[in-house]
Amino acid sequence: MKIDGFVLAMLGAVAFALAIPWLGTGDGPLHLGVVTTIGIAFVFFLHGAALAPAAMRAGAANWRLHLVVHGSTYLLFPAIGAAIFFGLQGVLAPEIRLGIFYLCALSSTISSSVAMTAIGRGNVPAAIFDATISGLLGMVLTPLLISLVAKTATGHLALLPAIWDVMKTLLLPFAAGQLLRPWIGVLVTRNKAWTSKADRLVILLIVYSAFCESTAAGLWSRYAPATLFVIALLVLLLLASVIMMTTLVSRTLGFSRADEVTAVFCGSKKSLANGAPIARVLFGQNPALGMIVLPLMMYHQAQLIVCSVLARRYAEKAEGDRPVSEPFPAT
């Protein structure tokens, strides 16, 4: 499995931040705080304009599948995150534990969840519904979950102002895009590649500015190299645990293979596209922001690799079970 170009670009942004941190700090010449805020709003406006309500309606009826997906995202993940956060007090630094809990509190990702579901011959309409609803719920639930542990890790987080900041930066532009979809939806959909590039550029700027702040504050000198290994190990164990649990629950409930594929991929994914902007809004210029988003960056690459392998295996099983004369339905 090769590492995709976006991950390499993120590693480049981190390396650049470590080498030249002053350029991307809050008071630096690039003014990335303002730039990223505008970029986040613009990207979510495009996401709103691109989302077809018909695609949402097509997958809305399968309520048992939806309960499994959102239960995994907003109950199972936070429970594991809380066990790590409180169980490793005195073992890991507060910002590391907060970063892992923040990863667990995030929504599912839309694009790769749907893509992996399609590759694995899963229920694509349900995946579109679940991933989209998960992102919208996360704009409220992620700040709510973080407020439960933030006082222990970084000081008090004012819940209502935090939710409002997230909603005005992410949800209002998204809603504006939906309202204008009848006039600009075709144009945005036709140029979907440019929307994806804008999305990734904003994420790279957030990652770069976060690591600039952390480097300038001398945060990285506090950690031994073994710390990165511990974070990576916890991230991999987290991913493996959730994939096994969603698979087990899907089979216990008697889901079809298509619904199991959707439950596993939508229930185990975490969104860097939502996570990086929300982290910028919630934690602002906190010098620990780089460490807070680091577990999410590691999880992003791990889920791409592991879920790509799983998707191909699901597809092979579906191919083996399919009668020779029966074509696959279009996805």
Cα–Cα distance, 166 to 278 (Å, whole number): 6
Q: What is the share, in percent, of the chain residues with pLDDT greater than 70?
A: 93
Task: Find which of 81-85, 160-164, 320-324 is predicted with most confidence, using mean pLDDT.
Answer: 81-85
pLDDT value of residue 155: 57
Residue 26 makes CB contacts below 8 A (sequence gap 6+) with 32, 33, 209, 213, 285
Band of pLDDT at residue 25, cut at 50, 70 and 90: confident
Domain of 261: which CATH number?
1.20.1530.20
pLDDT value of residue 54: 86
In a domain, 324, yes or no: no
pLDDT greater than 60 at residue 137: yes
Q: How many CB atoms lie within 10 A of CB 294?
A: 25
Q: CA 40, 45, 46 angle in degrees (round to 5)? A: 100
In a domain, 322, yes or no: no
Closest CA to 127 of 260, 247, 274: 260
In a domain, 10, yes or no: no
Band of pLDDT at residue 6, cut at 50, 70 and 90: confident
Q: By residue range, what is the domain housing residue 233? A: 27-316
pLDDT value of residue 57: 85
In a domain, 291, yes or no: yes
- pTM, 2 dp: 0.89
Q: Quick one: CA dihedral 209, 237, 106, 78, positive or negative? A: negative
In a domain, 189, yes or no: yes
Q: CA 212, 170, 208 angle in degrees (round to 5)? A: 15
Q: What is the full DSSP assignment across 49-63?
A: HH--HHHHHHT-S-H
In a domain, 98, yes or no: yes
Residue 245 makes CB contacts below 8 A (sequence gap 6+) with 72, 76
Closest CA to 170 of 32, 279, 72: 279
Helices (H), the chain: 5-19, 32-50, 53-58, 63-71, 77-87, 94-105, 111-119, 124-147, 150-153, 159-166, 172-190, 192-216, 225-252, 257-268, 272-283, 289-321
Per-residue pLDDT of 116-125, as tens digits, reads 999 999 999 9
Q: What is the domain count for the chain?
A: 1
Per-residue pLDDT of 38-48, as tens digits, reads 999 999 999 99
Angle between helices 77-87 and 225-252 (to 10 degrees): 150
Across 60-75, average pLDDT: 95
Burial class (CB in 10 A: 0-12, 13-18, 19+), 327: exposed
pLDDT greater than 80 at residue 321: no
pLDDT value of residue 325: 42
Q: What is the mean pLDDT of the chain?
A: 89
pLDDT greater than 80 at residue 152: no
Across 51-80, average pLDDT: 93
Distances (CA, A) of 23 to 27, 200, 210, 247, 285: 9, 20, 12, 46, 14
Q: Are 230 and 33 in contact (CB under 8 A)?
A: no
Assigned token pair, 15: 């390396």
Cα–Cα distance, 23 to 85 (Å, whole number): 33
Q: Quick one: CA dihedral 165, 170, 171, 173, positive or negative? A: positive
Band of pLDDT at residue 328, cut at 50, 70 and 90: very low
In a domain, 86, yes or no: yes
In a domain, 323, yes or no: no
More confident residue, 16 or 150: 16
Helix (H, G, I), strand (E, B) or coil at 237: helix
